[in-house]
Homo-oligomer: A and B are copies of this chain.
Amino acid sequence: MRQSFKVFCMSMLAATSLIPLAHADDKDTIDYRQHIMNTLNEQSAALGQILSTAVPDDNAVAHLNAIALTASTALKAFEPKVPGGEARPRVWSDWPDFSKRMNEFAQKTAAAAKTANEQGKDAALSNILDALTCKSCHDVYREEKK
């Protein structure tokens, strides 16, 4: 966490008022998609704690919205063909399948967030398992590193 915060502070110092076109190098590209996938992991874990009744459910709707929002950003972060991190090379060699799954994940979590916003958390949480397809995709496309 310290490293991320340092990167962030340096970034802030380097920031100008408008953002010119960026050119990511490989480490930047990998770091960026890991920030997004780590966000999904943290928010899913928080939601999991709510589902198992380990913690109160006050924030359930916000977690569902944060997951949907972050899911909508994930595919873009994998578009640069830069193997590394925990992504298996087949992310890019099987791109039609990978991108289809990622888009479905974004659509299903968006639908769950919509249900939560319109009908409340209980309605959304009752079938949230359908939306959170993390494991089936990780089994194919992720090589987990300690």
A residues engaging B (CB < 8 A)?
A: 1-2, 4-5, 7-12, 14-15, 17-25, 28-29, 31-32, 35-36, 38-39, 41-60, 62-63, 65-66, 69-70, 72-73, 76-77, 121-122, 125-126, 129, 132, 134-135, 138, 144, 146
Contact = CB atoms under 8 A, between A and B. Distances in A.
Contact of A8 (B8, B11, B21, B45): B45
A18 B126 contact: yes
Nearest to A25: B54
How many copies of this chain does one complex carry? 2
Given A8-B48, A63-B73, A55 B42 contact: no
A25 B76 CA distance: 38
Given A18-B122, A35-B45, A41-B5, A76 B51 contact: no
